[in-house]
Chain A
């Protein structure tokens, strides 16, 4: 099966000599919901910039649905929709015009562009704002406007560069639902985000990029399985004056109604509950202390840091 996106040995060195990408390779399969994660300056936006032609690669190859961008970039672009990190529309144009005009750039007849503009503005809750100048919109509305614009030509591959940055929780959830809906309809989605719970909730596969290199490329499930330990917060019904006996578990009392317990790989939560139950302590709720993906993300990046000996050698 032809990959939706195939990147091989992609390199980018900027004019000032900064090596943003050191030869990364990964594939994204059709229909996937793929997370491209990494800290600031890791090379995510450079990668996306190359895919949409705003950044010129210095080496390697990129194919979108089998079309090499060096052979036929216009055809590859027809399959690609991009929602950038920064707002990149005219602040003085009306919402309807911004979206509808984009259709023209992709060769869509005016009537079809108008129909699709209405469709996507309605889906993204912007139809009432169609005659409003873009500068009058809230930050969340501007993000949705860019999503509507990117979808107008109904691309097979949609790339979203931090689409929910600065968006409130309620709106973020509704955007997640919308993205899951279009993914279910067959659109391949690549997402970059700093909200790792977002990546964990939405994405099936992941690539983590750091300092221009891919440090992990696997499924989210496989990655989470590599967690050697998880830290849980347990809320208790009983008021606790001191830490109970945790048996073989590492735990501590946080306050009179909550406990923090570390579960090592191989240990069972059932054993913990049995241990607490024996002491007449009932657990009313529990949660991870931190997002699991976040813990892995931090540890992977830490592994990729040069050691102090390496730093001295430099």
Chain B
């Protein structure tokens, strides 16, 4: 396919993905807004006032970047895993598989569709956060780049989950038993300085800790970890997951017989 045809195929997939999650906005855009608003009220305002400062900032200021990142991660992942698995379940994925659209364009279209939802939800959560606290972004480039790359990474993970999934149960196992624990233990609600050296070392094996802290560094200018390592790690994961996803597609894993 020529670059022009590739662009047309990509933009068609991307537009369809955006149309899908905006069509069902009460299921895709409203729930994270409600959940995050509750986090802000309960953890930020009510409990946060009794906690005091963390990392040199009020607890509300500290927790906001983590909660934005949490919303971006879960929505990027959730969008792609549910959309691509639904396409498999309804067999509408065959529309794409029988077409000349290359595998990497299919993957990119779905992934950036998930990124679009993740970033839109992240933006909405940010606007809600501004009701509770003020945010002055310290490093705008780092903030935008890390949130975008994190969104890409988890959209890719959702894509791979959907390729392997054989039932709707299979698309909820990873978010429930892997993603949620790693997110909650990834420094969203606390600084790892509070932990004993053993738990600090263990926490540093959690990739989400690096992403949350890199984003927090971009917004607040403080981080528990080296931001350079965070970017290197995210880029390495993106490269590895992209290669894995393309390998699965080229071998027709659970897509072709």
| A interface list, Cβ under 8 A from B | 14, 49, 52-56, 73-75, 77-78, 80, 82, 84, 86-92, 97, 101-110, 149
Q: Mark B70-91, 1 if CB is under 8 A from A, else 0.
A: 0000000000000000110011
Q: Mark B88-102, 1 if CB is under 8 A from A, else 0.
A: 001110111111111
Subset of 20 A-B contacts with CB under 8 Å = A52-B98, A53-B256, A54-B94, A55-B257, A73-B100, A74-B1, A74-B100, A78-B100, A87-B91, A88-B91, A89-B90, A89-B95, A97-B16, A101-B16, A105-B95, A105-B96, A105-B101, A106-B100, A107-B2, A107-B5
Cα distance A55–B257 in the bound complex, in angstroms: 5
Cα distance A56–B96 in the bound complex, in angstroms: 16
| B interface list, Cβ under 8 A from A | 1-2, 4-6, 8-9, 11-13, 15-16, 19, 23, 86-87, 90-92, 94-102, 252, 256-257
Which chain A residue shows the least CB distance to B255?
A: A54
Cα distance A300–B96 in the bound complex, in angstroms: 38
Minimum Cβ distance to chain A for residue B148 (Å) = 25
Given contacts A14-B257, A55-B257, A56-B252, contact A77 B99 (CB under 8 A): yes
Count of A-B contacts with CB under 8 A? 83
Cα distance A56–B82 in the bound complex, in angstroms: 26
Minimum Cβ distance to chain B for residue A89 (Å) = 5
Contact of A77 among B16, B94, B98 (CB under 8 A): B98
Q: Are B100 and A75 in contact (CB under 8 A)?
A: yes
Contact of B8 among A77, A87, A91, A107 (CB under 8 A): A107
Cα distance A91–B1 in the bound complex, in angstroms: 29
Given contacts A104-B8, A104-B11, contact A84 B94 (CB under 8 A): yes
Q: Which residues of A contact B16 (CB under 8 A)?
A: 97, 101
Q: Are A104 and B12 in contact (CB under 8 A)?
A: yes
Cα distance A55–B98 in the bound complex, in angstroms: 10
Given contacts A104-B11, A105-B12, contact A149 B95 (CB under 8 A): yes
User: Ordered nearest first, which 5 A-B pairs have the shortest CB separation?
Assistant: A104-B12, A107-B5, A74-B100, A105-B99, A88-B91
Q: Are A90 and B87 in contact (CB under 8 A)?
A: yes
Q: Are A77 and B100 in contact (CB under 8 A)?
A: yes
Cα distance A107–B11 in the bound complex, in angstroms: 10
